[in-house]
């Protein structure tokens, strides 16, 4: 059972960026591995007659679930509520399960390696869609290039946590090239913030940053030389889309802020932003009547109210506190990589609705798991001293 939990936990994280490919095979195939992980975890804990190691995150996730279900009940008549509740709730469960499994059965670095492996596979798909399929912007396993960039830039800082140093350069090059092929400005900004954090915390040296930038410059030069027409077409399309995106996102952020101001307790319900947008925006977008907010904070706040937003931000804050405790105990320097990845995820999510993708949730789980391992190690050391 321990072996099965390890495989399922790593597979859940690894397959997350490949959701689009799995859905092409069957609409619900992407849900199979996470569901098996939850069932196996419950069976293992029942067999052991042991509860998960207690952590404040559990109480926060439980409160988050209560807020989600309460908002869903109040807005049950909304056409999107049921589907979005069923979509959101599993992420809260998976976060708790991953945190417990990574604290006991699965090494933290194995989960991080799985995240990188899935992102590399997605990056290869991204480059294939650009070069072979002739897409103007890389999509690969995800329909939206910006969502794809989110997965790739969040995985990049995790490379410094992996032991196989000789593979870091080629793996990093693939991830960087895939992210660049999406032409996502938010992804580039997120990666820049993560790099600044790592340099400031001495997680990487300026020499490594310089080498990385030089490598990206070489990749860019190669793209100009060997794929000039494709690159020119992609840039032209991105320039046109970018101008439109600035205007539409401002409209959607304003609408989300109005929804939050008008419904601060339980919001407009899961998925309610889509149905309430025409009224809240005063029909600002005639050709788009049910969009997403393209901002994780405003969308969660608008749909679940201030309590839901507080629960989400609280989970992220707990993750940062947990990683800092581990770092101060010098128990695991890989937590710097987790911090940088969280920063990249949070910056990218300022421009995207990423609560329905795994990276933020899995990073929170890994951070809590590392903290639980630290606590257990300190208890064992204390017990040994008193024997």
Which DSSP string do the residues of 85-112 spell out, in sequence order? HHHHHHHHHHHHHHHHHHHHTS-HHHHH
CB-based contacts of 295: which residues, under 8 Å, 6+ apart?
Answer: 249, 252, 253, 256, 349, 350, 351, 352, 353
Q: Which two tokens stand for residue 139?
A: 């999509």
Look at residues 378, 263, 250, 265 and name the one whose alpha carbon lies nearest to residue 326. Answer: 378
Please give the pLDDT value at position 257.
95
Look at residues 184, 216, 176, 157 and name the one whose alpha carbon lies nearest to residue 343. Answer: 157
Please give the pLDDT value at position 189.
92
Computed from CA positions of residues 72, 79, 314, 280, in that sequence, does the dihedral angle turn out positive or negative?
negative
Domain that holds residue 262: 1-386
Say if residue 315 is exposed, middle or buried (CB neighbours under 10 Å; 0-12, 13-18, 19+): buried
Please give the pLDDT value at position 295.
93
Please give the pLDDT value at position 103.
93
Phi, psi of 210 (to 5 degrees): -60, -45
Phi, psi of 75 (to 5 degrees): -110, 35
Q: Is 343 helix (H, G, I), strand (E, B) or coil?
A: helix
Which DSSP string do the residues of 178-222 spell out, in sequence order? HHHHTT-HHHHHHHHHHHHHHHHTTSS-HHHHHHHHHHHHHHHHH
Per-residue pLDDT 10s for the chain (387 aa) are: 789 999 999 999 999 999 999 999 998 899 999 999 999 999 999 999 988 888 999 999 999 999 999 999 999 999 999 999 999 999 999 999 999 999 999 999 999 999 999 999 999 999 888 888 777 778 889 888 899 999 999 999 999 888 766 777 788 889 988 998 888 888 989 999 998 999 888 877 666 666 666 666 665 565 555 555 655 555 555 555 555 566 788 889 999 999 999 999 999 999 999 999 998 888 877 777 788 899 999 999 999 999 999 999 999 999 999 999 999 887 667 899 999 999 999 999 999 988 999 999 999 999 999 999 988 888 777 777 766
Contact 256, 295 (CB under 8 A): yes
Please give the pLDDT value at position 284.
76
Phi, psi of 267 (to 5 degrees): 65, -160
How many domains does one find in the chain? 1
C-alpha span between 188 and 43 (Å, rounded): 42
C-alpha span between 295 and 20 (Å, rounded): 22
Contact 150, 188 (CB under 8 A): no
CB-based contacts of 180: which residues, under 8 Å, 6+ apart?
Answer: 216, 219, 220, 223
Phi, psi of 223 (to 5 degrees): -65, -40
């Amino acid at each position: 059972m321990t072996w099965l939990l390890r495989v399922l936990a790593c597979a859940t994280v690894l397959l997350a960026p490949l959701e689009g490919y799995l859905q092409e095979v069957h609409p619900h195939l992407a849900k199979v591995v996470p569901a098996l992980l939850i069932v196996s975890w419950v069976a293992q804990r029942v067999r052991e007659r042991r509860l998960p190691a207690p952590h404040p995150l559990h109480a926060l996730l439980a409160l988050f679930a209560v807020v989600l279900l309460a908002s869903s009940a109040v807005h049950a008549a909304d056409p999107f509520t049921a589907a979005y509740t069923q979509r959101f709730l599993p992420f809260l469960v998976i976060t708790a399960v991953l945190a417990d499994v990574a604290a006991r059965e699965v090494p933290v670095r194995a989960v991080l390696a799985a995240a990188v492996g899935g992102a590399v596979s997605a990056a290869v798909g991204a480059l294939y869609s650009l070069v072979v399929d002739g897409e103007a912007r890389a999509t690969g396993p995800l329909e939206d290039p910006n969502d794809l960039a989110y997965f790739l830039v969040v995985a990049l800082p995790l490379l410094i946590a992996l032991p196989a140093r000789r593979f870091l350069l080629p793996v990093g090059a693939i991830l960087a090239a895939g992210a660049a092929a999406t032409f996502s400005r938010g992804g580039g900004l997120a990666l820049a913030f993560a790099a600044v954090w790592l340099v400031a915390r001495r997680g990487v040296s300026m020499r490594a940053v310089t080498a990385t930038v030089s490598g990206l410059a070489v990749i860019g030069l190669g793209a100009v030389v060997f794929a000039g027409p494709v690159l020119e077409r992609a840039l032209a399309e991105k320039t046109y889309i970018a101008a439109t995106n600035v205007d539409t996102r401002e409209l959607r952020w304003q609408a989300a802020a109005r929804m939050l101001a008008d419904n601060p307790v339980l919001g407009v319900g899961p998925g309610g932003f889509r149905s309430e947008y025409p009224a809240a925006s005063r029909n600002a977008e005639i050709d788009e009547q049910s969009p997403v907010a393209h901002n994780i904070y405003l969308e969660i706040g608008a749909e679940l109210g201030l309590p839901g937003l507080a629960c989400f931000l609280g989970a992220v804050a707990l993750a940062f506190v947990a990683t800092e405790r581990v770092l101060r105990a010098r128990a695991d320097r890989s937590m710097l990589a987790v911090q940088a990845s969280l920063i990249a995820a949070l910056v990218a999510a300022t421009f995207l609705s990423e609560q329905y993708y795994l990276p933020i949730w899995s990073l929170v789980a890994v951070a809590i798991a590392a903290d639980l391992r630290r606590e257990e190690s300190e208890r064992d050391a204390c017990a040994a001293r008193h024997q």
